[in-house]
Amino acid sequence: MIIGRVIGDVVATQKSPSHEGRKLLLIQPLNLDGTDRGEAVLALDAVDAGVGEQVLVVQEGFSAMTAAGRPNSPIDMTVVGVIDHIDLVP
């Protein structure tokens, strides 16, 4: 799983039938301190997340498919939670 921030929506005029009715989000992975980590990725939205929100993303195929309720679909990443806050214990 990764922590990320939603930085945009992706509009696709054609997509796999298994993706119908779900948003695609552009996610910027984050370090625990909130700084950007790596390149942005695409994820299917299962929790109605919005731009600017910090989210939890599952990034393994089987977990992503089942979390989205779409088994046997071509899904690699799914947003499974919106993060309210993160507490780091020293």
* Ranges of each domain in the chain: 45-85
In tens, the pLDDT along 22-66 reads 789 999 999 988 899 999 999 999 899 999 999 999 988 767 767
CA pair distance 19, 24, nearest whole angstrom: 9
CA distances from 77 to 33, 44, 58, 69, 87 (A): 22, 6, 6, 13, 25
Q: 3-state class of 32 per DSSP?
A: coil
Has residue 10 got a pLDDT over 80? yes
**pLDDT band with cut points at 50, 70 and 90 for residue 89:** confident
- φ, ψ for residue 64 (rounded to 5)? -65, -40
Mean pLDDT of the chain: 87
CA proximity to 49, closest of 90, 1, 8: 8
45-85: which CATH architecture?
Answer: Beta Barrel (2.40)
pLDDT attached to residue 17:
77
